[in-house]
Structure 1
Amino acid sequence: MLENIQFANPQFFWLLLMLPLAMVWYIFNRKKDSASLKISSIKGFKAGNSILPKLKPILYVLRLLALTALITALARPQTKDVSTRTKTTKGIDIVMAIDVSSSMLAKDLKPDRLSALKEVASEFIKGRPNDRIGLVVYSGESFTKTPITSDKSIVLRALNEINHGIIEDGTAIGMGLATSVNRLKESKALSKVIILLTDGVNNAGFIEPQTASELAVEFGIKTYTIGLGSNGMALTPVAYNLDGSFRFGYRDVEIDEKLLTEVAEVTGGKYFRATNNEKLEEIYEEINKLEKTEIEEFKYTNYEEKFRPLAILAGLLLMMELALRYTIFRSFI
């Protein structure tokens, strides 16, 4: 309970420094507090054994406690309850276009390119609670895996289900981009973004990437492109074994960076190159910073004053002191 208490006027606690001074003053002047009588002999008086004179300092203790309670009340102890309400003032609709060609199983990223992408993209999605996100996958063709939605659990589940082999092999960059544009063209969001990732060159599909990028410009859609793959050689699927599994061999990493840069610049986005897991994470973090959703936050603060019980306690202590002074201790004061 005490950990939630704060004081509106803590400067009044400086008055507590007077209490030690008052105690010192009382110690040096307590003998003057009682009347004295000088006589030549006390033989005629019977010594009493009353304990009341020894308890008289209680009156001063009660006064000090009353002053302490009063000073604390002046400091205005109070509890503060803060409630917040957020309002999204600028929503962003995002479509993530993911290459699922066989080359995405290359092992230059750990454990492979597609698995590394899914892990990083998952964190990106979790970090966009106020935006709608959709998924498009492409290889030799393209299709919408998940329309844009605010339900992140659906998007994350769909992302986890993405694997190579769900469509014919190839790299149809233009098709992937065009399908993403089609998902966003009817969006009413103030900002529309495509994050297109590939690890190869456009070698399939019937829509050219330049044509798809022109469509993106027409509908006001910004495109960030990511080239995924290390520099040089990478352990990549090169053929099938008899049991249907892939046979891996080293091949040159070919990414059409000129095309990806052109698509990004034409649509107002930016091109990135991810050569390892760490770089891929940095790229998504940078995109996350570049595309910020504007959120307006309203704070409501409710203060509850707690000084009244202390003021009442101070009054009761003073009344108790006065009552004792003029009743029980009257004959000794």
Structure 2
Amino acid sequence: MFRFENPAFLYLLIIIPVIIVIRFLEMRKRKLKLKKFGDLSLLKQLMPDVSSSRKSLKFWLMIAALALLIVMLARPQMGTKISQEKRKGIEVIISLDISNSMRAEDVVPSRLDKSKMLVENMVDNFTNDKVGLVVFAGDAFIQLPITSDYVSAKMFLQNTDPSLIATQGTDLAGAIELSSKSFTQQDKVGRAILIITDGEDHEGGAIEAAEKARKNGIRVFVLGVGSTKGSPVPDGNGGYMKDNSGQEVISALNEEMCKQVAQAGGGAYIHVDNTSLAQRQLNDELTKLQKGDISSVVYSEYDEQFQAVGILVLILLIIEMLILERKNPFFKKIKLFK
């Protein structure tokens, strides 16, 4: 496995195109100045030892050396030892509703943002567990395959937005079915699907899908986000969504349906509001799941690779020094450069 120990240094690569643009502008300015003296072809005959190709080659060698030097500062490393670790843990697939109704702000800062915060806090308590992310609205797809990489899980979570799925609705059945297929095939591992939704525009089939998951040893938990009284849905442009008659769309939590799905899935229903009670309830429920052996591929040793990059930088600098800007009188008959 390849990685950078200090990837922040790679941001310095942005200076490369800046230098190239400055070089281009400088060459253009120089060419305009030469035109004031006379015809360029005539000036070239008057300066037979001047080689523009040599200067260009020296410039690109320096650019390549600088880019490699920045890569070297980032400390490239290669994983050299792979080990299979067995740890006690559970597997959780988070099935997150990203339909437009999750923009509603009856939960601060919004239903979707509150859900993200809840999941982040949950993942922060994980140690030997695996987590995956499924997002759904009218359709469902895997945003992150099941993994023990919690940093990636939180990164993918933050990138979820209603714009990811064009088909609106709340296809809970499809989300449960896809989540059920996303677990590993290891035995004696506690598995749970964590559905986070407001349950609005339910398309049917969710109870049957939850029952099927329970029969396969997967518990289905439902976190209902929002208020049963309802709230207008922001349209993303500073206003609120309206229906065909021009009335504001009011989205309300379908709590009864959420409870039925959780019961069918052998899990629990948890109401998410503006308090921290849901977080504590969720952590308590997950600790009750059976913990089994989870196998993970771990790169336990990394070798530094900056030495090889450093050698390339040194070679490029030596070549750049050996190339003269003017034509070498000893090699005039060898036309490698114009």
Under a length normalisation based on structure 1, what TM-score does the superposition of the two structures give?
0.54
Any residues of structure 2 matched to 1:123-138 within 5 Å, and which? 123-138=121-136
Q: Which residue of 1 aligns with 2:172?
A: 173
Any residues of structure 2 matched to 1:288-303 within 5 Å, and which? 288-291=286-289, 293=291
For 1:200, the aligned partner's letter is G
CA contact 1:209–1:263 (8 Å) conserved in 2: yes
Aligned-pair distance for 1:277? 4.5
Task: Report the 3-state secondary structure (helix = DSSP H, G, I; strand = E; otherwise coil) of the residue aligned with 1:184.
Answer: coil
In the alignment, the residues of structure 2 paired with residue 185 and residue 214 of structure 1 have an alpha-carbon distance, to the nearest angstrom, of: 20
Aligned-pair distance for 1:263? 2.2
Aligned-pair distance for 1:141? 0.2
For 2:178, the aligned partner's letter is T
Q: Which residue of 1 aligns with 2:207?
A: 210
Aligned-pair distance for 1:202? 4.5
Aligned pair partner of 1:117 in 115, 118, 121: 115
Aligned pair partner of 1:261 in 259, 262, 277: 259
Q: Which residue of 1 aligns with 2:273?
A: 275
Aligned-pair distance for 1:208? 1.4
Q: Which residue of 1 aligns with 2:48?
A: none
Q: Which runs of 5+ in 2 are unaligned?
A: 1-84, 243-247, 294-338
Task: Report the 3-state secondary structure (helix = DSSP H, G, I; strand = E; otherwise coil) of the residue aligned with 2:233.
Answer: strand
Aligned-pair distance for 1:294? 7.5
For 1:142, the aligned partner's letter is A
Q: Which residue of 2 aligns with 1:285?
A: 283
CA contact 1:130–1:150 (8 Å) conserved in 2: yes
Change (3 A) 1:277 1:142: farther
Q: Which residue of 1 aligns with 2:160?
A: 162
Task: Report the 3-state secondary structure (helix = DSSP H, G, I; strand = E; otherwise coil) of the residue aligned with 2:95.
Answer: strand
Change (3 A) 1:93 1:189: farther
For 2:176, the aligned partner's letter is L
Aligned-pair distance for 1:119? 1.4
In the alignment, the residues of structure 2 paired with residue 199 and residue 220 of structure 1 have an alpha-carbon distance, to the nearest angstrom, of: 25
Under a length normalisation based on structure 2, what TM-score does the superposition of the two structures give?
0.54
Change (3 A) 1:114 1:187: farther
Change (3 A) 1:130 1:148: same
For 1:93, the aligned partner's letter is E
How many residue pairs match? The answer is: 203
For 1:214, the aligned partner's letter is E
Aligned-pair distance for 1:151? 1.2
In the alignment, the residues of structure 1 paired with residue 194 and residue 285 of structure 2 have an alpha-carbon distance, to the nearest angstrom, of: 9
Task: Report the 3-state secondary structure (helix = DSSP H, G, I; strand = E; otherwise coil) of the residue aligned with 1:225.
Answer: strand
Aligned pair partner of 2:143 in 136, 142, 145: 145
CA contact 2:190–2:291 (8 Å) conserved in 1: no
Q: Which residue of 2 aligns with 1:233?
A: 230
Task: Report the 3-state secondary structure (helix = DSSP H, G, I; strand = E; otherwise coil) of the residue aligned with 1:91.
Answer: strand
Aligned-pair distance for 1:88? 6.9
CA contact 2:88–2:129 (8 Å) conserved in 1: no
Aligned-pair distance for 1:190? 1.9
CA contact 1:185–1:219 (8 Å) conserved in 2: no
In the alignment, the residues of structure 2 paired with residue 173 and residue 254 of structure 1 have an alpha-carbon distance, to the nearest angstrom, of: 16
CA contact 2:133–2:143 (8 Å) conserved in 1: yes
1:247 paired with 2:244, answer no
Q: Which residue of 1 aligns with 2:14?
A: none
Change (3 A) 1:266 1:98: same
Task: Report the 3-state secondary structure (helix = DSSP H, G, I; strand = E; otherwise coil) of the residue aligned with 2:169.
Answer: coil
CA contact 1:121–1:284 (8 Å) conserved in 2: no
CA contact 1:181–1:215 (8 Å) conserved in 2: no
Q: Which residue of 1 aligns with 2:197?
A: 198
For 1:173, the aligned partner's letter is L
Task: Report the 3-state secondary structure (helix = DSSP H, G, I; strand = E; otherwise coil) of the residue aligned with 1:140.
Answer: coil
For 2:175, the aligned partner's letter is G
Q: Percent identity?
A: 26
For 2:187, the aligned partner's letter is K
In the alignment, the residues of structure 1 paired with residue 161 and residue 171 of structure 2 have an alpha-carbon distance, to the nearest angstrom, of: 16
1:220 paired with 2:213, answer no
In the alignment, the residues of structure 1 paired with residue 188 and residue 145 of structure 2 have an alpha-carbon distance, to the nearest angstrom, of: 14
CA contact 2:95–2:193 (8 Å) conserved in 1: yes
In the alignment, the residues of structure 2 paired with residue 275 and residue 158 of structure 1 have an alpha-carbon distance, to the nearest angstrom, of: 24
For 1:109, the aligned partner's letter is V
For the aligned residue pairs, the C-alpha RMSD in angstroms reads: 2.7
Change (3 A) 1:280 1:235: farther
Change (3 A) 1:240 1:268: closer
Any residues of structure 2 matched to 1:37-186 within 5 Å, and which? 90-168=88-166, 169-184=168-183, 186=185
